[in-house]
Structure 1
């Protein structure tokens, strides 16, 4: 090894004791060469970004392609990627999978019997005795995928707790955590890009002033199906009947704002039972270990799986899975794009 190191030192055109090694301004020629190295190709044009449907009414921007670099810059980027991968392996342990949170699609039990949604809605009506009441605020675990053309897709797991106070102010706590890997480092999104943080790392903790909005979804949702349908249309800012895809989107928005009571659960179950194309597929175990009945809707490029409590008809979770690959973003058919699991 000593011989190889000596050969490298001799090959180095600027050894560490060379006066040119110190910091200082670049000369004109050096600055011009640097700009040629890292500047975009002359035939490049910016392309518009794309949006990935997210949870809680939010969306994740899928950025357009970044300018191409020279082979030298790609080599440096590759070296950095190797370093990050090594760090992930180190934090996760030498014999375990790196803690980078890439959930697989939920699997329906092959021996289970699908329960039609209208039958589940009847069960929800029977359970709507007022034992659980409507409460503003939410407690949700979510996984959302971020993609770009120059990096592999990553899935970021967070837990969010929103609590409202008597004066209509509210607090929101967001932490990085993944219940599938308790105590393990979690991939989080930082200012300089994704990074590993400790399980339970606080991403944000905010208090918001009072809000007196009476527009859905801030106003309390009704507990009969007819009025709830109109309420959800208002939340989507449309006067036309909601498509099944829109109904699932606004269901996510509703549950990211409110913890429903038994009567509201029954009303929502009845609306979902009347939706076109939402078919029963059987039993699943959700990402928090809860058993539920799964219902699937195949939209344009996405497969939505709704998970509902088999007794009360409450919505437990909602999963979006890609049905078509997008090679430019490293997306494969079957990749989980987004998942939410709501808790009581």
Structure 2
């Protein structure tokens, strides 16, 4: 019970010692935390929270997968992707070199511009002590309108075809294709928050670092590399970066401690990328970036230690996100 209470305390958007508690509006941090609790997944999908809430999550995920595969008689599929493999003999590209390439793309003809909203395909593993692990693959597209409102469409992907998009984005509007089961389709009223990551990310490494620090909502100075990777994922779940912002982010990542180049990979959407790995106790994070533009393509977390009580083995993919334009 102590662990659960601590999780609740950390999730509380208005702690008892907060300056606005009981007699005024929430501050920017509290507004963002409340919005995350009501509408969003927490950055990084931390396993402690997944385990804590899995009694409901596993049932929902299994139900959606059953529907996706074609009916109640079909056994729920795990649909867990295999860990990405670095191409043998490929040459690792240092992050500072990649950042230099990204900088050169800013002035290129047709260079992409910053756009609020995202198009992402993701896999997220849920674990419990009394059920086998379930991985829910889904695709999400978020589009913002001029009046500050936005739409969010979430579709279950077919586990038999991992990496195949099931949404089209023509004319700025999301469209279903035939093999997607809708998990949710919602329209949200106008929101004009100026707190990161709702506000536009700056195109300067020092200012971007401060922006991400605020978005991460940490109480200590600076960001650890795992925290940085988590908040980068949160940023990309809000914004589709332009060439300038991608170059700034690549320069910031080049200074991240312990993030090392390992070579070339092909991501789950068939795109060629350079992989950068961070090893932590119990897991390995792999960041995949476009080799010419420096844009972040994906982020994978692989377990490096078996946890028999949850039915997971070393080498299982805990989570994966692939961002698209």
With normalisation by structure 2, the TM-score equals 0.73
| Distance of 1:295 and 1:65 partners within structure 2 | 30
1:214 to 194, 199, 212: 194
Aligned pairs for 1:1-344 (under 5 A) are: 48=3, 56=43, 60-63=49-52, 99-129=77-107, 131-178=111-158, 181=161, 199-238=179-218, 240-344=221-325
Residues 55, 310 of structure 1: alpha-carbon distance in 2 compared, 3 angstrom cutoff: farther
Local SS of the residue matching 2:207: helix
| Distance of 2:80 and 2:181 partners within structure 1 | 19
Residues 127, 209 of structure 1: alpha-carbon distance in 2 compared, 3 angstrom cutoff: same
Using the TM superposition, give the Cα deviation of residue 237 of structure 1 relative to its aligned residue in structure 2, in angstroms.
Answer: 2.1
Q: Deviations over 1:65-117 (max 9, x none)?
A: 99xxxxxxxxxxxxxxxxx9xx89x969xxxx985311110000012111111
| Distance of 1:148 and 1:256 partners within structure 2 | 26
Using the TM superposition, give the Cα deviation of residue 56 of structure 1 relative to its aligned residue in structure 2, in angstroms.
Answer: 4.7
Local SS of the residue matching 2:227: helix
With normalisation by structure 1, the TM-score equals 0.70
Q: Which runs of 4+ in 1 moved over 2 A?
A: 46-51, 54-61, 63-66, 97-100
Unpaired runs of 5+ in structure 1? Answer: 1-45, 67-83, 187-197
| Distance of 1:58 and 1:109 partners within structure 2 | 28
Residues 182, 112 of structure 1: alpha-carbon distance in 2 compared, 3 angstrom cutoff: closer
| Distance of 2:52 and 2:158 partners within structure 1 | 26
Residues 257, 57 of structure 1: alpha-carbon distance in 2 compared, 3 angstrom cutoff: farther
Using the TM superposition, give the Cα deviation of residue 128 of structure 1 relative to its aligned residue in structure 2, in angstroms.
Answer: 1.5
For the 8 Å contact 1:141–1:341, the answer to whether it is kept is: yes
For the 8 Å contact 2:162–2:268, the answer to whether it is kept is: no
| Distance of 2:295 and 2:79 partners within structure 1 | 26
Equivalenced residues, count: 261
Residues 236, 98 of structure 1: alpha-carbon distance in 2 compared, 3 angstrom cutoff: closer
Structure 1 or 2, whichever has the larger Rg, is: 1
For the 8 Å contact 1:139–1:161, the answer to whether it is kept is: yes
| Distance of 1:56 and 1:170 partners within structure 2 | 20
For the 8 Å contact 2:113–2:242, the answer to whether it is kept is: yes
